[in-house]
Each structure stands twice: as C-alpha cells, then as structure tokens.
Homo-oligomer: A and B are copies of this chain.
Amino acid sequence: MGKPVILITNDDGLNAPGLRKLINIMRPLGKIYVVGSERPMSGTGHAITVREPLRLTPVAKEDNYEEYFCSGTPVDCVKLGSQIVIGRKPDLLVSGINHGSNASVNVVYSGTMAAVIEGCIDGIPSIGYSLLDYSHKANFSACDPYVMKIAQTVLEKGLPKGTCLNVNIPAVNGSEIKGMKVCRQANARWEEEFDIRKDPANKEYYWLTGIFKHLDDGKDTDQWALENNFVSVVPVHYDLTAHQALKEINNWKLNGN
C-alpha cells in the first residue's frame, strides 16, 4: 500500500507559522498536498465562493509534497484540493494549526473548522488543530506529540461516520500539559462591543470587538479541559438539528389539530 494522501489547509494564509508547523509534523506521515488561502481568512465561517471564479497557484513541488495557494475560502481550498489538485478524496484532511482558540462557540465562526466540517461532509477523515495563542509569534513547540498522535490514530482507526475532530491546545509549555481529554463543546458566547469611530468625513464606522462569556460550568467541556491544561478533543458533526427540541415544537400543533 502506498503512503496515505494528506490534504493540509488553514485559514491564516500560507505563511502562517501554525500552518508551517502542521506541515512539518505531517510530512513523515504521507504524501502531502497543501492548499491554503492566499490571505488570512479568520472568521470566514463556512463561506464558499459562488460569485467569483477560483484560482489555484502552484507554490512548491517536491517528492511527496505539493503546495498551492487558492484565491478562495478554507472551504473552497478543501473542494479544490480534493477535486482538482489531488483528483480524489484524500485519506486525511488536517487544518490549522490555527492561531487562537476554536473551542466552545468559536467553532461556529472558524474558517479552520469550516474546512474540517467540509471534509467531514465529503466523507474525508478530518481534524482541525488550534493553539490558544492569537499571536503570529505563537510558540507551537508543545503541539507536536498531540498533533501527531491524533493524526496517526485517525489514519489507523478512521472516524465514526459523519464525525470530525476539533482539537485545541493550551498555550503553555509542553511539560505543563496534562494529556488529552475527549469532551463536548462548552456553551459560551461573545458579547459584542463595537468600537465606534468617525472617519475624516465625520461618518461613523464600527470595529467589531467582543468579550468571551463562558456560560457552562460542566467539567466535561473543552473550555474546562483547556483551562486545566488539557488538550481538548471534541468530536464534531454537521447535523444541526436540535433533536431534544423536536417534541416541544411538535407540541405547538402548528397545523392546528
């Protein structure tokens, strides 16, 4: 059997140190295809490009390694990477390592995780990695063994149908990390505070800022794991049905009978 084919993407642009780190960790594991966004795409959510055509530009080609940048979003990168660059479904998709948390409600806004969820919809075993440090100079050195171990395990065992993984790593020295914890997404939200400014023509404009509000006191959540120096591993799916609410909404008897 040949080496596994691994597609790598992210949402911080091709030059992001987190992506370079992820490439380095993955290279021994298989034949690598990197398809990254031309420019940073944080906060793009599950956006796809339907009103403009997409471009793909080769950047590097070596033995068992090809790298491209794509004019679109992280989700576009997955679609183009799979269909055009590789020409078949890869054996593994990894996205990241994101600069900043994608734990709890951040998963909803994340371009890194959107790529992963897209892979999952397409039936590709997919993993997103994030380090809880937003800075360009973040220290990714503690990530290696966890990123590697999870990727190897997924290559070996696969993932349950319709499931992908959201892995977050605390921003502490490797020696302080207590291990990995499989957990659920914590309930939280961002409380917006707009920074209101005036342009030279005296017209208002708004910068989005916000405060993270952790609303969950469970010890089985990703947020708890991270605050206690564990690497959090959340299985994620794309069935957004609130199954537990079906009965109550049914009881409304919307058709009046």
Contacts and interface: CB of A to CB of B under 8 A. Distances in A.
B206 A246 contact: no
A60 interface: no
Interface string A99-129: 0000001011100001001000111000000
A84 B243 contact: no
Contact of A245 (B42, B82, B193, B235): B235
- The A contact surface, by secondary structure, is mixed
B185 A240 contact: yes
A149 interface: yes
B206 A53 contact: yes
Contacts of A206: 53-56, 80, 84
Interface stretch (A15-23, A29-37, A247-255): A247-255
A92 B95 CA distance: 36
Given A48-B45, A55-B205, A252-B153, A122 B189 contact: yes
Question: Max chain B CB contacts within 10 Å: which of A56, A150, A249, A255?
Answer: A249
A53 B207 contact: yes
Nearest to A254: B180
A233 B208 contact: no
A43 to B, nearest CB: 4
A94 interface: no
B238 A105 contact: yes
18 contacts: A43-B50, A46-B46, A46-B108, A48-B208, A53-B205, A54-B207, A54-B208, A55-B204, A56-B204, A107-B240, A117-B240, A123-B189, A150-B254, A160-B242, A160-B248, A180-B254, A185-B240, A235-B246
Interface of A: 40, 42-51, 53-56, 75-76, 79-80, 82-84, 105, 107-109, 114, 117, 121-123, 149-150, 153, 157, 159-160, 162-163, 165-166, 179-180, 182-185, 187, 189-190, 192-194, 196-197, 203-208, 233-246, 248-250, 252, 254-255
